[in-house]
Structure 1
Amino acid sequence: MFANSRAVTSNQDAPHPALADTVRRHLGHAWRAPLADHDRDAFARAEHWLAGSSGPLILDSGCGTGRSSVWLARRYPHARVLGLDQSAHRLERAARRFEPIGNLLLLRTDCAGFWRLAEAAGWRPWRHYLLYPNPWPKSAHLKRRWHGHPVFPHLLGLGGELVLRTNWELYAREMAGALELAGRAASLSPLTVENEAITDFEEKYRDSGHRLWELVAALDH
């Protein structure tokens, strides 16, 4: 990928003033939007694939073309890795780009719907990765960011260790603030990618000179 990515621009220069009210409202009111049939189908396929397995589960949500999912599956061969993305086009590219790996399944699904189904089924992933790009930098789009979305309590309910990487510090700071409101502590630190980048965006942002950030949080109380 070319090293020509522009830095994130936003009309926010600090965490959104409505962040706390938005997070508290979602924590206090269950999200009752109907679940899509394709998300139910994807979840059923995942359950079938995981049946009988005893290793830890890793979720790679918004996996795109699957580079990060492949990296995780190779790094943690004892784990089962589920890469989730809503784009059939991106997942088709993954199928052309990478050889199948026995402990990896890529699924087309909406992450929000899948998380709700997984939480209801009692899933408890070991780790949950949210890796680039950075969603919705305009202040009007707070509720489209994961920490401002109604699905945020379900993300928490899945538990495990959350690992978020971004080239937009404010996004990570907002996530840390939302987690604090929910009673979870997060660490945020600059990320030095000295070896292989684990996503195409990470490689592009690094080569474009962007500062990268990593947030890590234990979601279990």
Structure 2
Amino acid sequence: MEWNDITTYGVWAYEQVWRCAESFFDWGGWAAFGKWLKDWQTLVSGVAAVLAAGCSVYFLSKQIRQADWHERARQRRRFAAARAILPLTLSQACDYAEMAIRELAPLVPAARMAPVPVNFSRPEPPPELVASLERMIEATDDPALIVVLSEIIIEMQVVAANIRQLVTVGRARTTDAQNIQAYMARAATIYARAEHLFPYARGEHATVGKLDLPALTTKALKIMSVSPHDYEVAYTLAANAKT
């Protein structure tokens, strides 16, 4: 069949359909259609409702998918931002742990002979440090990372409370040398946990990995030149540190 034949046939079919439509309405098609619609209005209404519901579900699902996509994108950006500053955050945690240990260490030799001086410096965790750790916890879904970061926050709060108790308002308080060494060992666990996370924070490792807390805590005391001979209790507690 040639193109002209196809065109001619199409025109003929169109004319036939149009004539049928004209005949339908000329013969009272509107009345027949109205009667049919009245007889089947329940079914027609049901079909229309189903179609409307289907359209609503489609567009609602589309909106939900778009919202999910935007939320995932926002979560990725938040995680990237928190991880970008994680090395700095961990460095601040190490600085706090080192500051606490260096303030506590001189108190051990004189703990049984003299009270803690009233002007004793009480290092406190920087508020921005805790806030940065909290943001990283909120941004990640890695259970291992969440556990280590949470433990850093908890240990900082405990160490700060222990140091705060060394001096009461307006007067000095004596304390036991072993307690002070216990505070030092606890501060060293903060340093150990932060050091453990550095390879992950710098992008060197894809996962957090297993934490060897006793080894890293002992290493932290050595890094800060804490003598095993003079601070035997601190090293004993470090060797038995538990997550």
**Length-normalised TM-score, structure 1:** 0.26
- Structure number with the higher strand fraction is 1
Q: Which has the higher contact order (CA 8 A, sep 6+)?
A: 1
**Length-normalised TM-score, structure 2:** 0.24
Q: Rg: which structure is higher?
A: 2
- Structure number with the higher helix fraction is 2
